Amino acid sequence: MKRTNFTCDNVNPSHYRQGKIEVIDFILDQKMDYLTASAMKYICRHAHKHGEDGDGQIDDLRKARWFIEKLIDHKLGAKNEQD
């Protein structure tokens, strides 16, 4: 099996490394579930990934909203199953 040589930029681009800690380290420290972590990832990185005027900022915020809506639906469904 041929191994691909990844550089730091391939695996860990600069928009992952803003501030004193990486988003992934915060997610792991807080033991977030998948939906929460995914929303957090898009919210934290949207401005850095696409620059100040990047068109992708809105797309990333919409992705975060999608994960938040999915989490809300999941929590409401779990609550309704208990009732």
- At 69, the pLDDT band (50, 70, 90 cuts) reads very high
- At 12, the pLDDT band (50, 70, 90 cuts) reads low
Domain boundaries, the chain: 20-82
pLDDT of residue 13: 59
- At 62, the pLDDT band (50, 70, 90 cuts) reads very high
Residue with tokens 């041929």: 2
In this structure, of 13-17, 33-37, 40-44, the range with the lowest mean pLDDT score is 13-17
Contacts of 43 (CB under 8 A, 6+ apart): 60, 61, 64
